[in-house]
Copies of this chain bind each other. A is one copy, B any other.
Amino acid sequence: MYKLYYWPEIQGRGEFVRLALEAAGAKYQDVARRAKGMDALIAGLKSDAPMPPYAPPYLQDGELVIAQTAAILAHLGPKLGLAPKDDAGRLHALQLQLTIADLVDEAHNTHHPVGSALYYEEQKKEAKRYTKNFRKLRIPKYLGYFERVLAANPQGPEHLVGDALSYADLSLFQVVEGLKYAFPKAAARELDTLPLVTALHQAVGRLPRIKAYMKSKRRIAFNEQGIFRRYPELDG
């Protein structure tokens, strides 16, 4: 039984871990969504035990506590059958996840360019400037890159790495979901030009376990506390 510790009201970075656990049909507790779970999450952050997490998400797997989304997935991927079996493939899955994480950071900065300690309303003007650049340059550059990776995969364009579903595919699915939610116009315009990314997004959404998860209460809806936020003034 895995225990995932993450903020209970948002998808956020924890969602990349949730999707891997769900896609594999793994047993897990989403601790902070249970009774007294937030106390447990905070206690873990303040722990004096060796190697505390800096921030959620963190995962407990038996004795091991591991933080940072990409490190959690580097650990879970092989155990859940969601990573390539060869060393190079595993490194490349990590490389892809880190590039997705960079995109996620920038998506967060669209509404919080000046600092996460301030409200969106205090940095709306800066958010507009940042997001204009994000829509025009960054979304095309990142999604175009993943299209290239798919096209260049010697095992076929159905997966980012190797010949089977990996956590990198799930994470790209999540990012596309997020961009479609936050920037429906910009995302649609871009995805129209990217058949392989679009096909991967659709294929992951059709996986029976992912389909069931998306309809369940375990999937928290996108909202304006998370990373991907729908502020119509930022789309275009």
What is the CB-to-nearest-CB distance from A163 to chain B, in angstroms, rounded to a whole number? 12
A52-B152, A133-B115 known; A68-B99 Cβ under 8 A: yes
Query: Which residues of chain B come closer than 8 Å to A94, judged between CB atoms?
Result: 68, 70-71, 74
Which A residues, 136 to 162, have Cβ-Cβ distances below 8 Å to chain B? 137, 142, 145, 148-149, 152-154, 161
A50 on the B face (CB < 8 A): yes
Give Cα A108–Cα B173 distance, bound, in whole angstroms. Answer: 28
Contact A137 B117 (CB under 8 A): yes
Contact B50 A71 (CB under 8 A): no
Contact B113 A126 (CB under 8 A): yes
Q: Mark A44-82, 1 if CB is under 8 A from B, else 0.
A: 000011111110000000011011101100110000000
Contact A54 B113 (CB under 8 A): no
Copies in the complex: 2
A91-B75, A92-B51, A98-B68 known; A130-B154 Cβ under 8 A: no
Give Cα A114–Cα B124 distance, bound, in whole angstroms. Answer: 11
A129 on the B face (CB < 8 A): yes
A95 on the B face (CB < 8 A): yes
Given A71-B91, A113-B115, 16 new contacts (CB under 8 A): A50-B154, A51-B95, A51-B149, A51-B161, A54-B142, A63-B88, A64-B88, A67-B99, A68-B94, A71-B95, A113-B113, A113-B114, A113-B130, A114-B129, A115-B130, A115-B134
Contact B91 A64 (CB under 8 A): yes
A1 on the B face (CB < 8 A): no
What is the CB-to-nearest-CB distance from A154 to chain B, in angstroms, rounded to a whole number? 5
Give Cα A137–Cα B153 distance, bound, in whole angstroms. Answer: 43
Residue of B nearest to A103 (CB): B54
